[in-house]
Structures are given as structure tokens and as C-alpha cells.
């Protein structure tokens, strides 16, 4: 049945404005249910909203087990009736095969092919190895790169900064990371755990270390690969043995430890392998024997006036100790000075040997060049400086000031001219001073936050850097930066010597100038003594002041002119010398 409703309209009324009017409803169509269909209902045992029933199964293919073993080749191919052990039968078979027509023709043909190749072989040895004696020179013209291998993240919710990293001495398979908060007084909710990670397994740490308070620094013992020493935020020092588990084996007593966070701990070379020393911003450097951590074995207060006054001591932030020079060590302080100390001095006053006026801020890292121990690298404020031990006034090489503060640095253990620095803007810089002194050879942005610590592994290829968000990133350096080049050590040594000489000359020049000034000021003092006998009126004073001023200006001008001549003379002398 079609339901049709016809509407009729005059053409002239098209497109006129509609005027809608209310009206009563009209029933157009009424369709009532068909009674016949209700006599045969179809039951569906299902509510309308239900969906199809489905079931889920999981299957996994059966793992196949492979065993590889050799197979014994038994002579095969013989036709069934011939027993291949039987010599007679085989010989007879062979003879029969030899008489086959096809056999003869193919042999003749193949024989000629074979002869050709043999003759070729005998004529020239095609595959000769040329230049066997020369070594393969790997010319890396590729740009240096640093690839991120793995990121080890702090498993806790509240991320803590990775303040210190240490590679395990057994070829760097493990990395120990110390986590703490550098923000003042935030430690209440943070967990105190620090971790040892296995480099291959970035998802969970291999071992958890539980110190009494968060660790600020952590070091593996380079001799005994399963012991670690850590410095805590509350000033205690703790000692672990990884064979014994995650609790500290021993930690120092609170009364005798540092009063401020222990910023650096270094193991010493000793026969027993149990000595270490630590530095902290409370101004002390303490020596410990791990067998008896209740008290430090020795104490040094970083007071420059050599009185042992703790109140005037400088806070130590970084330590440096080189195994080849066991009696000397260096401390980088919060105030920007680097103090070089002698461990074997008899009195505490003599322990502090000299200071280097380093940076405008804390000296975050001090490290000697592993190949040329007379030179060391320091970072602090916005630049990195390289120093020579002999020159105390200034560094021999500075990098220019960067955009953000440098937080940590280390030399590459395989290449004498390469060092790594990390900055607060998350950038890792790799410097090669033989290649380029003004800019880093490679700059890699590792993460968004600041990078707080860096450590290079012994083979020079893997670098671990720790960020403030609790991530320790492992990077692999290209071989160009991790393989030592020829003559590198001598070139770097020559460069350092050259810079040292330059600084010495500059210093000598300055000393001369100062000496002259002193002489002149002594002379003018004598004159003054003579003149001060009578009383002077203000005008006379003024006149005298003017006269003095003009005479000083003239002297200065004369000196400058002489200075220029002297410098020229010196340059000439230098040229003559070299």
C-alpha cells in the first residue's frame, strides 16, 4: 500500500515567503498491526542489546628445539644391487660407467674447460694480495658523532638528579649512579636509594644501594671491583661490598663525618686497597680507612691562612687524585680557587702548597690529563680551563664562555687531546684541542634538563652522563674521537708547553712592570717626606697635586713608549732563541 500525500500549489505562488500557521493535526494514514503475524511468533533467546558471543583464545607456536650436530657421510649413490664395500663390484661398476658414450663426450668437453681455467690460474694469480706489508689506514672522513645507546631512568616517581656516575673497573659492564637532590632542603620525600645498573639492561637496575641518606657521590674501587664508596647528603661516608648485598657494610659515624654533603670521594692507592678520602663544602678533607669508618684517619682543613680555622675554610666541591702522583692532590672549592696539597707534609700548615685562582664560581671538576699529568682541566662558571702546574696565576688555555654553566668534565682516557664537558642546558660538548681550540668538536644535546655529571668508560668509547631528571644516558662516541692518532701525545705536549711558555713570558713582563712601579713609588715617597716639613695652604696643596698629576701622566706616557720598544726587543730575542 503506498502512502501518498499530494500537495498542490499554484506556480505563481512559488518562492513566496512561507507563512506557517498552527493547525490541528490531521490523520493521514493509520496502519494497524496485522493480526495474522502475531499467531506465529519467532522466539529469539536474546535481548536486543546483546552482541554476538565471541571467545578469545591465545596460542603460541611450539618452540622448536634446534640441535646442531654433524652428519656422517657414508658413501652413497650406489645402485641398490652393488655393495659399496665390495671392491670388485665397485670397480666393475666404475668400468661400466666409464664405457658410457655420454660420459666420454662430456668428459672431453669438461676437460677442455678445466684446462683453460687451470692455465688461467697458472698464468696470473688473479687474487693476489697487494701491499701486504702496509697497515690498513682507517681514514675517517666522516663527521664525528655520538650515538645514544641507552637511557637508564630513575624508577621512582619523584625524579632525583644523577649527581655522580662511576663505571665498574671490570671493563665497564656496570654503571653505578648516585641519586640525590641538588635543590636545597628537598630531601624529605625522596627515597635514599642509589643504583648499580647493568649496561645491557636499562629497564631495571641490577642492584639497589641503600645508604643512610641520599648519596651525592659514588665511586667504585678501581682495584677491587666489587667495593664501592659513597658520600651522603648528611656528610657521612658509606662503604658497600656488592657481594654482600645492598645494605651498607659500614658507614662513618655522624659525629666524626663532614657537616655538609660529601661532594666527592676518591679511592687511594694503597697496599690494602682500603683507603679513600672525601671532600665536602664544610671545608674539610678527610681520609678514611674502610675497615674502620667510625673515625677518619686524617683530617685537613682547607683554610688558606693555614691556621686550621674551620670558620674561614673554603668548601671543597671536587677532588682530584692521580695514581702516578700519590703524594699530591687537588681540591676545587666553592669559591673558585683550586688548592694543590701535599699529603706527606709534616704539619697541617705545610699541607696546602699553593692555590690557583680559577673560576668565578664553584669549581665543579678538577682532573689531571691522564697522559700529561702536569696539566689539569678545571670547569666552573661558564668556561673550562686547562692549567699547567707551574703557572699559578692563570690558566694556559681557556675555552670561551658558553651560554650556560658547565657542571662537570673529564678527559678521555685514550686520547690526550680530547675532553668532555656537560652543561646546564643539557648539552654534552666534546673538545679536541688539537683540532679546534675555540669551539667544541662535537656538541650533542642529550636531554632537556641540565646535565650534572659525566663519566667516560676506560676504553674511551662509552660515555655516561646524568641529568637532573634522573636519567643516565649512555652514548657511544665515533671512532674518530676514541681512537688515538699517531703522535698525538707529543703534539698535545708541545701545545701545552708552548702555552705555558707564553704565560711565563707574560707573567715575567707583569712582574717587571710591578717592580718599576714600586721603585717609582718609593722615590716619590722620599720627595713627599722632604716637603711635608712646612705647613701648606690649600692652594699650594692644589698646585702641588696638579704638578704631581701631570708628572705622573708624563712618566706613564714615557713608560708606554719604552714598553713598546721593550716588547719588540723581547720578540726579537725570542725569535733569535727559537
Partner 1 sequence: MADVEETLKRIQSQKGVQGVIIVNSEGIPIKTTLDNTSTVQYAGLIQQLVLMARSTVRELDPQNDLTFLRVRSKKNEIMIAPGEGRPGTKVRASPQKC
Q: Site residues (CB under 8 A) for partner 1?
A: 73, 75-79, 93-94, 97-99, 102-104, 106-115, 117-119, 121-122, 124-125, 127-128
163/470 Cα distance (integer angstroms): 9
Integer Rg of the chain from CA? 43
In whole angstroms, how close is the CB of 103 to partner 1 at the nearest point? Answer: 7
In whole angstroms, how close is the CB of 415 to partner 1 at the nearest point? Answer: 36
Of the pair 67, 124, the CB lying nearest partner 1 is at 124
Of the pair 90, 479, the CB lying nearest partner 1 is at 90
432/386 Cα distance (integer angstroms): 13
8 Å CB contact between 337 and 358: yes
Left if phi > 0, otherwise alpha if psi is -120 to 50, otherwise beta: which for 182?
A: alpha
Instruction: Work out the burial of residue 342: count CB atoms within 10 Å of its CB; fewer than 13 is exposed, 13-18 middle, 19 or more buried.
Output: middle
In whole angstroms, how close is the CB of 71 to partner 1 at the nearest point? Answer: 10
Of the pair 10, 119, the CB lying nearest partner 1 is at 119
32/574 Cα distance (integer angstroms): 121
In whole angstroms, how close is the CB of 81 to partner 1 at the nearest point? Answer: 14
Of the pair 54, 124, the CB lying nearest partner 1 is at 124
Q: What are phi and psi of 533, to 5 degrees?
A: -65, -50
Of the pair 63, 79, the CB lying nearest partner 1 is at 79
Of the pair 96, 360, the CB lying nearest partner 1 is at 96
In whole angstroms, how close is the CB of 65 to partner 1 at the nearest point? Answer: 25
321/266 Cα distance (integer angstroms): 7
8 Å CB contact between 467 and 355: no
User: Helix (H, G, I), strand (E, B), or coil: what is residue 12?
Assistant: helix
Of the pair 79, 311, the CB lying nearest partner 1 is at 79
8 Å CB contact between 166 and 158: no
8 Å CB contact between 357 and 346: no
In whole angstroms, how close is the CB of 134 to partner 1 at the nearest point? Answer: 17
In whole angstroms, how close is the CB of 154 to partner 1 at the nearest point? Answer: 53
In whole angstroms, how close is the CB of 128 to partner 1 at the nearest point? Answer: 6
In whole angstroms, how close is the CB of 98 to partner 1 at the nearest point? Answer: 6
The set of residues, in sequence order, having a beta carbon less than 8 Å from that of 357 and lying 6+ positions away, is: 336, 337, 393, 394
416/419 Cα distance (integer angstroms): 8
* The three grid cell numbers given for residue 196, joined into one nine-digit string: 648499580
User: Helix (H, G, I), strand (E, B), or coil: what is residue 176?
Assistant: strand
Of the pair 86, 109, the CB lying nearest partner 1 is at 109
Of the pair 65, 75, the CB lying nearest partner 1 is at 75
Amino acid at each position: 500500500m503506498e502512502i501518498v500525500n499530494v500537495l498542490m500549489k499554484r506556480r505563481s505562488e512559488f518562492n513566496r515567503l512561507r507563512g506557517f500557521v498552527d493547525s490541528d493535526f490531521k490523520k493521514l494514514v493509520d496502519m494497524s498491526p496485522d493480526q495474522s503475524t502475531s499467531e506465529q511468533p519467532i522466539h529469539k533467546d536474546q535481548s536486543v542489546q546483546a552482541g554476538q558471543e565471541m571467545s578469545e583464545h591465545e596460542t603460541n607456536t611450539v618452540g622448536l628445539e634446534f640441535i646442531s650436530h654433524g652428519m656422517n657421510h657414508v658413501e652413497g649413490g650406489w645402485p641398490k644391487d652393488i655393495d659399496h664395500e665390495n671392491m670388485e663390484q665397485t670397480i666393475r661398476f666404475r668400468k661400466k660407467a666409464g664405457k658410457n658414450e655420454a660420459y666420454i663426450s662430456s668428459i672431453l668437453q669438461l676437460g677442455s674447460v678445466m684446462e683453460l681455467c687451470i692455465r688461467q690460474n697458472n698464468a696470473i694469480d688473479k687474487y693476489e694480495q697487494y701491499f701486504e706489508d702496509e697497515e690498513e689506514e682507517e681514514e675517517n672522513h666522516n663527521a664525528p658523532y655520538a650515538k645514544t645507546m641507552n637511557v637508564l631512568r630513575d624508577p621512582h616517581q619523584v625524579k632525583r638528579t644523577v649527581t655522580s656516575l662511576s663505571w665498574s673497573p671490570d671493563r665497564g659492564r656496570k654503571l653505578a649512579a648516585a641519586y640525590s637532590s641538588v635543590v636545597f632542603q628537598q630531601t624529605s620525600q625522596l627515597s635514599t636509594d642509589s643504583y648499580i645498573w647493568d649496561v645491557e639492561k636499562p629497564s631495571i637496575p641490577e642492584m639497589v644501594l641503600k645508604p643512610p641518606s641520599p648519596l651525592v657521590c659514588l665511586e667504585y674501587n678501581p682495584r677491587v671491583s666489587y667495593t664501592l664508596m659513597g658520600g651522603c647528603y648528611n656528610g657521612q661516608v658509606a662503604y658497600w661490598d656488592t657481594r654482600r648485598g645492598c645494605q651498607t657494610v659500614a658507614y662513618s659515624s655522624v659525629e666524626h663525618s663532614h657537616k655538609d654533603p660529601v661532594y666527592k670521594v676518591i679511592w687511594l692507592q694503597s697496599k690494602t686497597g682500603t683507603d679513600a678520602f672525601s671532600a665536602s663544602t664544610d671545608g674539610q678533607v678527610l681520609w678514611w680507612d674502610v675497615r674502620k669508618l667510625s673515625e677518619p684517619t686524617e683530617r685537613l682543613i682547607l683554610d688558606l691562612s693555614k691556621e686550621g680555622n674551620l670558620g674561614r675554610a673554603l668548601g671543597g666541591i671536587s677532588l682530584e687524585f692521580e695514581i702516578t702522583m700519590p703524594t699530591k692532590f687537588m681540591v676545587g672549592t666553592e669559591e673558585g680557587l683550586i688548592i694543590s696539597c701535599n699529603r706527606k707534609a709534616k704539619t697541617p700548615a705545610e699541607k696546602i702548597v699553593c692555590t690557583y685562582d680559577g673560576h668565578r664560581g664553584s669549581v665543579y671538576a678538577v682532573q689531571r690529563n691522564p697522559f700529561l699529568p702536569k696539566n689539569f682541566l678545571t670547569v666552573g662558571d661558564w668556561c673550562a680551563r686547562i692549567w699547567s702546574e707551574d703557572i699559578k696565576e692563570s690558566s694556559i688555555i681557556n675555552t670561551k664562555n658558553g651560554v650556560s654553566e658547565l657542571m662537570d668534565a673529564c678527559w678521555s682516557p685514550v686520547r690526550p687531546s680530547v675532553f668532555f664537558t656537560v652543561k646546564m642546558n643539557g648539552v654534552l660538548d666534546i673538545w679536541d684541542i688539537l683540532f679546534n681550540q675555540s669551539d667544541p668538536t662535537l656538541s650533542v644535546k642529550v636531554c632537556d634538563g641540565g646535565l650534572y655529571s659525566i663519566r667516560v668508560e676506560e676504553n674511551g668509547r662509552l660515555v655516561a652522563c646524568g641529568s637532573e631528571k634522573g636519567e643516565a644516558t649512555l652514548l657511544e662516541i665515533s671512532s674518530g674521537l676514541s681512537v688515538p692518532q699517531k703522535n698525538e701525545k707529543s703534539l698535545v705536549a708541545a701545545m701545552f708547553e708552548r702555552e705555558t711558555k707564553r704565560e711565563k713570558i707574560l707573567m715575567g713582563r707583569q712582574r717587571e712592570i710591578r717592580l718599576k712601579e714600586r721603585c717609582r713609588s718609593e722615590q716619590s715617597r722620599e720627595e713627599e717626606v722632604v716637603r711635608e716639613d712646612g705647613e701648606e695652604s690649600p692652594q699650594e696643596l692644589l698646585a702641588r697635586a696638579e704638578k704631581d698629576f701631570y708628572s705622573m701622566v708624563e712618566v706613564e706616557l714615557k713608560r708606554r713608549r719604552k714598553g713598546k720598544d721593550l716588547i719588540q726587543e723581547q720578540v726579537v730575542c725570542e725569535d733569535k732563541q727559537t
